[in-house]
A and B are shown apart, each in its own frame.
Chain A
Amino acid sequence: MSAEASAPTVGAEASVRPTAVSTPRGRRVPLAAIIAGAAAALFAVGLLVWGNPVPADQPGFWVIVQSRSVAVATIALVAAAQALATVLFHTATGNRILTPSILGFDALYTLMQTALVFAFGMAATQVEGVGKIVAQSALMVLFATLLYGWLFSGRRANLHVLLLVGVVLGVGFGSVSTFLQRMLTPSEFDVLSARLYGSIGRGNPEVLPWAALVVAAIAVWAWRRRAALDVIALGRDAATSLGLRYRREIVVLLVVVAVLVSVSTTMVGPMTFFGFLVAIMSYQFVSSDRHGQVLPVAVLLGLATLLGAYFVMQHVFAAAGLVSIVIEFVGGLAFLIVILRKGLR
């Protein structure tokens, strides 16, 4: 019955789907990718040069542009990481609703950070540098892979159960974190909160190149494996019949997702619904669900959305600090709408 009821909308969707544009080399580039890419570029340039107090012909202009470029690069990196992580997570888990963040991934990150400070005190925070961040991320990736690998390995698991488990885990991790934070000394807590609630304004130029390297490497890897990703999206049986080691592929994907989310969370803190928002928009805008289209469209849409949000909030409303709140609000609304309209499938 529901299939019949949804049939007209499906047809309508198909006719609304935009076409692709052919390049001279005969490859078809989705229209959405071109528009999103142009918008992202525009907003990035806007963030760099708009409202610069120094006239463009003086050297001070470029000093300001350079200092702003750290923020822009951070935004871009986080957007790309979240978009890739969400799409890859959807592929690995065979659903299009749940995202790592909705399943309590960010809360897990908060808990790990808190637990480290709790266990090792100031010593955990005094060792600065890339090595420590790598070690933390590795720990996080290990835990996340084990947890979500286990969650999604059971065949009995359906999306309702997973959503419930995710919400409970998220709340549980959050409560334990709060509990541990209460027992910290004020100075430890100060250090921890500086670590936890990163923001664009306090972007860390030292970590940026490493994070960029990781995200870029994963993006290239995902692009080169896009055909295999299409097959993985068919599910365990079909993928196995087509000659993939399905279990290994899924573990690798979950590790990659964990790396991406921990990079993003390290840089700007938790973002629950941003990845969901970007992924759901991408699925609407591509003419084919192949990863060759979805991945670039998702990344470019993510860039356009986050850069655009910052540009608008900073220069139109003069309230850049509210960006994540607005994104979460819109993303949360989109999540509710999708769940209420389509249900969990």
Chain B
Amino acid sequence: MITIEAVDKHYRATRALGPVDLEIASGGLTALVGPNGAGKSTLLTIVGRLLDPDSGRVRVGGLDVVTAKPRELAKVVSILKQENHFVARLTVRQLVSFGRFPHSQGRLTAADREAVDRALAFLDLEGFEERFLDELSGGQRQRAFVAMVLAQDTEVVLLDEPLAALDMRHAAAMMQRLRDAADELGKTIVLVVHDVNFASAYADRIIALAEGRIVASGTPEEIMRPQVLSAVFDTPVDVVQHGGHRLAVYYRPAPTTQEHVAVMPDDDFGMPRNHAPAEASVPEF
């Protein structure tokens, strides 16, 4: 369970986030969506204690992320950032074994090795254990990083854009693995995702941010609506039903007249621009 109370964060004079109040219940997959600069990653890194908020409190599993002992926190919450470049040359097994550090402080026990093996198997990395990270493809490397976080065996797993740099096959496979981790391992997974359709298809909850504030949150059915998404992303979004999921379609607005000679209306593709506080236009859930 994650509790966020009145958290805000400024960079120089501009407010990047907040004030944000949020509760994320245990279990399931929660997706943070929103336009660039909405504060998704900032919120995630504050919860993952990689960034200190200017004010407010964050509690994860009953521990305050600023004041709790780092070693205890590392057994409750793990976070994987988008960019992971290490100077050291590591094999996949070495990398995943780092996930056990909070538990064993580097001296791997039999139980630790078992956890590492399980994480490797869970992400289909068997056969790659002794390969160096720089010998892997982007998709394999990303799986190795996620395996490390899973080996840490925390209740809460935070992932900052785990789909970045993955092609559609690997992105879909990664979301399925994360879905399985939530269902089979009982993890509480919170991830930042750029493609709302992945959030719609795999997440239990979607939290939409814009300009540093939470503007909508709810189930995919509640969030995946044209008026909600259009307001959140400030761009015309259509929603279609496909295979039991709602998919956002926003690549090119459909012609507004019957003929193909349709002329773009002046007022931003015919959608009302919304610069007012977004809460006003978004139904509360």
CB contacts under 8 Å to B, within A82-104, are: 90, 94-96
Q: Are A241 and B79 in contact (CB under 8 A)?
A: yes
Q: Are B78 and A228 in contact (CB under 8 A)?
A: no
Q: Are B101 and A10 in contact (CB under 8 A)?
A: no
Partner of B152, one of A11, A233, A242, A244: A242
Q: What 1/0 mask marks residues of chain B from 32 to 72 whose CB sits below 8 Å from any chain A CB?
A: 00000000000000001110000000000000000000111
Is A230 part of the contact surface with B, judged by Cβ < 8 Å? yes
Q: Are A234 and B50 in contact (CB under 8 A)?
A: no
CB distance from A206 to the nearest CB of B (A): 39
Query: Known contacts being A234-B86, A241-B74, is A14 close to B81, with CB within 8 Å?
Result: no
Partner of A227, one of B72, B84, B106: B106
Is B89 part of the contact surface with A, judged by Cβ < 8 Å? yes
Q: Are B101 and A227 in contact (CB under 8 A)?
A: yes
| Residue of A with least CB distance to B131 | A14
Q: How far is the CA of A233 from the CA of B212 in the complex (A)?
A: 33
Query: Known contacts being A241-B79, A243-B102, is A234 close to B88, with CB within 8 Å?
Result: yes
CB distance from A246 to the nearest CB of B (A): 9
Q: Are A228 and B105 in contact (CB under 8 A)?
A: yes
Interface residues in A, total, Cβ within 8 A: 28
For A290, the chain B residues whose CB sits under 8 A away are 88, 94
Q: Are A235 and B86 in contact (CB under 8 A)?
A: yes
Query: Known contacts being A227-B105, A231-B98, A238-B98, is A289 close to B90, with CB within 8 Å?
Result: yes
Q: How far is the CA of A231 from the CA of B105 in the complex (A)?
A: 10
Query: Known contacts being A228-B105, A241-B74, A241-B80, is A233 close to B86, with CB within 8 Å?
Result: yes
Q: Are A243 and B89 in contact (CB under 8 A)?
A: no
For B87, the chain A residues whose CB sits under 8 A away are 90, 94-96, 233
Q: How far is the CA of A237 from the CA of B149 in the complex (A)?
A: 12
CB distance from A66 to the nearest CB of B (A): 42
Interface centre among B49, B106, B132 (most CB of A within 10 A): B106
For A238, the chain B residues whose CB sits under 8 A away are 81, 84, 86, 98
Q: Are B71 and A243 in contact (CB under 8 A)?
A: yes
For B223, the chain A residues whose CB sits under 8 A away are none
Q: How far is the CA of A289 from the CA of B89 in the complex (A)?
A: 6
Q: Are B88 and A289 in contact (CB under 8 A)?
A: yes
Q: Are A237 and B50 in contact (CB under 8 A)?
A: yes
Is A175 part of the contact surface with B, judged by Cβ < 8 Å? no
CB distance from A159 to the nearest CB of B (A): 11
Q: Are B98 and A240 in contact (CB under 8 A)?
A: no
Q: Are A237 and B81 in contact (CB under 8 A)?
A: yes
CB distance from A243 to the nearest CB of B (A): 3
CB distance from A135 to the nearest CB of B (A): 34
Q: How far is the CA of A199 from the CA of B91 in the complex (A)?
A: 43
Q: Are A14 and B132 in contact (CB under 8 A)?
A: yes
| Residue of A with least CB distance to B45 | A237
Is A22 part of the contact surface with B, judged by Cβ < 8 Å? no
For A90, the chain B residues whose CB sits under 8 A away are 87
CB contacts under 8 Å to B, within A201-248, are: 226-228, 230-231, 233-238, 240-245
CB distance from A89 to the nearest CB of B (A): 12
Interface residues in B, total, Cβ within 8 A: 34
For B91, the chain A residues whose CB sits under 8 A away are 288
CB distance from B113 to the nearest CB of A (A): 15
Query: Known contacts being A237-B50, A237-B81, A288-B94, is A242 close to B102, with CB within 8 Å?
Result: yes
For A235, the chain B residues whose CB sits under 8 A away are 85-86
Q: How far is the CA of A95 from the CA of B86 in the complex (A)?
A: 9
Is B191 part of the contact surface with A, judged by Cβ < 8 Å? no
Q: What 1/0 mask marks residues of chain B from 128 to 166 whose CB sits below 8 Å from any chain A CB?
A: 000010110000000000000100100000000000000
For B149, the chain A residues whose CB sits under 8 A away are 241
Is B278 part of the contact surface with A, judged by Cβ < 8 Å? no
CB distance from A208 to the nearest CB of B (A): 33
Q: How far is the CA of A15 from the CA of B120 in the complex (A)?
A: 24
CB distance from B108 to the nearest CB of A (A): 9
For A288, the chain B residues whose CB sits under 8 A away are 89, 91, 94
For A231, the chain B residues whose CB sits under 8 A away are 98, 101, 106
For B50, the chain A residues whose CB sits under 8 A away are 236-237, 240-241
Q: Are B132 and A242 in contact (CB under 8 A)?
A: no
Is B75 part of the contact surface with A, judged by Cβ < 8 Å? yes
Q: How far is the CA of A227 from the CA of B100 in the complex (A)?
A: 11
For A230, the chain B residues whose CB sits under 8 A away are 88, 98, 106
Q: How far is the CA of A237 from the CA of B90 in the complex (A)?
A: 17
Q: How far is the CA of A233 from the CA of B98 in the complex (A)?
A: 11
CB distance from A157 to the nearest CB of B (A): 15
Q: How far is the CA of A102 from the CA of B48 in the complex (A)?
A: 36
Q: Are A242 and B94 in contact (CB under 8 A)?
A: no
Partner of B98, one of A10, A242, A289: A242
Q: Are A243 and B107 in contact (CB under 8 A)?
A: no
Q: How far is the CA of A171 from the CA of B165 in the complex (A)?
A: 43
For A228, the chain B residues whose CB sits under 8 A away are 105-106
Binding site for A on B (CB under 8 A): 48-50, 70-75, 78-81, 84-91, 94, 98-99, 101-102, 105-107, 132, 134-135, 149, 152
A selection of 25 A-B contacts at a CB cut-off of 8 Å is A3-B134, A10-B134, A90-B87, A96-B87, A226-B106, A227-B107, A231-B101, A234-B98, A236-B50, A238-B81, A238-B98, A240-B70, A241-B48, A241-B78, A242-B78, A242-B98, A242-B99, A242-B102, A242-B152, A243-B70, A243-B74, A243-B101, A288-B91, A289-B89, A290-B88
- Extra contacts, 10 of them, besides A241-B79, A289-B89 (Cβ < 8 A), are A14-B135, A227-B101, A227-B106, A228-B106, A230-B88, A241-B50, A242-B99, A243-B74, A244-B70, A288-B94
